[in-house]
Chains A and B, each alone.
Chain A
Amino acid sequence: MLIYTLKRVLLALLVALTVSILTFGLLHLSSDPAVALAGEDATEEDIQLVRVQYGFDKPLPVQYMTWLTNALQGDLGTSYYFGIPVSTLLAQRLPVTLTLGSCALIYAILFAVPLGVLAAMRPNTWLDRFCLSLAVSAQAMPSFWFGLMLIVVFCLWFPLLPVSGSDTWKHFIMPTIVLGTNAMPAIMRLTRTGMMDVLATDYIRTARAKGLRPNTVLLKHALRNAVIPVIAVIGIQAGYMMGGTVIIETIFALNGMGLLAYESIMYFDLACMEAVVLLLCLVFITTTFVADILNAWLDPRIRIR
């Protein structure tokens, strides 16, 4: 278990490093940041000045190494647009996004897992078909459109919820629903398949042959094994959600990382963009890592070798 964990940590670090190189290279190569920064009316001299001032004239690897050493010390540079250190910005915005993400994840799990289990218990009944249709519809729903429609319903037709902002818990309700609905189909489908596979196994038959009550068989013997693959998918979905916040926070003007990402992209704020991409990537790596470790811990075949 320890060796397994260490291996996973090492892989995670390597992936994080590669991603940072990739984003840095991609963002710096795909356009000339100095041109964007200097503004539309800037002369060639102005651009050259900006280039030297921000160190864009140095070779890319050198720029990257400078950035990396600074980043490791907690200095992510200063945002061109907001004019404050990027690390301060992130510290302000991250809690909002993490709150939104966890709410959405809990909401998704609370709906998807029980529905998946129910569908697996009664395959090919109306209940199963209902769950499947729900999953298929949620999968095809453009999340930005779903968000706008919720605003129309709950702010225009039945004025119950605030349209935008991030001040009270009420502001988080619609974003949570939209973001969570996005993650539901994958979790529900996998719970259903996992549960159906497990229910067909020999050890479930053994459990029934022992005279255990149906609920014990289902909750103790079946669910425990069926959730193992589901946890991995939840980890991945949690990571995807971080990317999804870009759209949802923009629609609901929720002042989190997603909105920050949108703003920095709109205003060519390179330092901020890099930091946000890297941070979201780290969140993804962490969630999948936690899911992997949780998996291994739940499955004695991996835990004890």
Chain B
Amino acid sequence: MTVLLEVENLTVDIPLAAGDLHAVRGVDFTIKKGETLGIVGESGCGKSITSFAIMGLLPQSAIRKAQRLAFSGQELADLTQEQLSDIRGNKMSMIFQEPMTSLNPSYTIGEQLIETLLRHRKVNRKKAVERAVFLLEKVGITAASSRLKQYPHQLSGGLRQRVMIAMGLMCGPDLIIADEPTTALDVTIQAQILSLLAEIQNEFQMGQILITHDLGVIASVAHRVAVMYAGQFVEIGSVTEIFEAPMHPYTQGLLACIPIPGKTKRGSFLGSIPGKVPTLIGDQTGCSFANRCTYAKEACLLKDVDMVSLGPGHSYRCVLSSEICHQNAREAACT
């Protein structure tokens, strides 16, 4: 399979009055055609910033650095704004968190859908409208052609998110980034939107980055999973590897927070990770999870921890050896 997106040592710094905010610190991953990478992590861990960095949508003050940030072999940092905007919405598109505010209230759904296509393809309005209707039906919107004349405020949140998905698909992109596409929606709608996304991704064989804080979502949709904490990937691997054999104490902690039917005893406490996320403002040294980690030692604080590879595709960021990590996982599972 061809490699779609390569990210190597991506960092994003945002200068603030109190000092530099190191929002993303050395993130590496690749995405192949037809593959879904799930990125999980708590709010504020840098998931969204990572996706904005890839799309080139960071706030003006933010500083993006990367050894390599290539889309279809083309280094994105070398492109002019004009060339970058040729790719955005065309080869690579994004679905945002808040469907309620992500559509322009002053224009109809139809206008906002077709302008993407008119921008990137040489088609007439009629063809663009046909494509919009086709995609709206694809994402499960009935009476699509009459919906085109409606304004965003006339649609429910679920419908708007479907419109956003259709908008992302207008040009048939190779890569789609979905940034918590379901957080703002009702639980019943969430499942529909997610299965819709998975279906479409499979049908068009796109690469997908799915950002969420919901591990259940990741387990059912993603092929590979990256666990993000304090601006870093702390573990990355296939779904089976992450869920069956989590290595990093943070991943283990996250998994312990999910109740499993039949396994978690009635009335027992759900897992939780004590402590809070460290501030990312100012210089960082050592493992950033150490202040919440049950296994933390002096050594954790002395120097930055590198990713340890466990074989193709699975690596984790911890000073502990893989045997000890396995041991910890088993003990944690027993209690």
Contact = CB atoms under 8 A, between A and B. Distances in A.
- Are the chains A and B members of one assembly? yes
A102 B23 CA distance: 52
Interface residues of B, number: 30
A49 interface: no
A93 interface: no
Contact of B103 (A203, A208, A298): A203
A201 interface: yes
Contact of A202 (B81, B93, B98): B98
Nearest to A212: B119
Given A203-B101, A298-B106, A209 B151 contact: no
B106 A209 contact: no
B93 A210 contact: yes
A181 B120 CA distance: 43
Given A208-B88, A211-B86, A304 B106 contact: no
Contacts, number: 78
Contact of B104 (A206, A211, A214): A206
A164 interface: no
Contact of B87 (A208, A211, A225, A300): A211
Contacts of A225: 104-106
Nearest to A208: B57
Nearest to A224: B106
Interface in A164-221: 201-203, 205-214, 216, 221
Contacts of B175: none
B160 to A, nearest CB: 11
A253 B120 CA distance: 59
A7 interface: no
Contacts of B153: 300-301
A304 B153 CA distance: 9
Going nearest first, the 5 A-B pairs with the smallest beta carbon separation are: A211-B89, A210-B89, A211-B88, A202-B101, A300-B151
Interface of B: 55, 57, 81-82, 85-90, 93-94, 96, 98, 101-107, 115-116, 119-120, 151, 153-154, 164, 167
Given A203-B104, A211-B120, A221-B104, 18 more contacts: A202-B102, A203-B105, A206-B104, A207-B104, A209-B57, A210-B115, A210-B116, A211-B87, A211-B119, A212-B85, A214-B85, A216-B115, A216-B119, A225-B104, A299-B106, A300-B151, A301-B153, A304-B154
24 contacts: A202-B98, A202-B101, A203-B101, A203-B102, A206-B96, A206-B103, A206-B164, A207-B104, A208-B85, A209-B55, A209-B88, A209-B93, A210-B116, A211-B86, A212-B119, A213-B82, A214-B85, A224-B104, A224-B106, A298-B106, A300-B105, A301-B151, A301-B153, A304-B151
Interface of A: 201-203, 205-214, 216, 221, 224-225, 298-301, 304
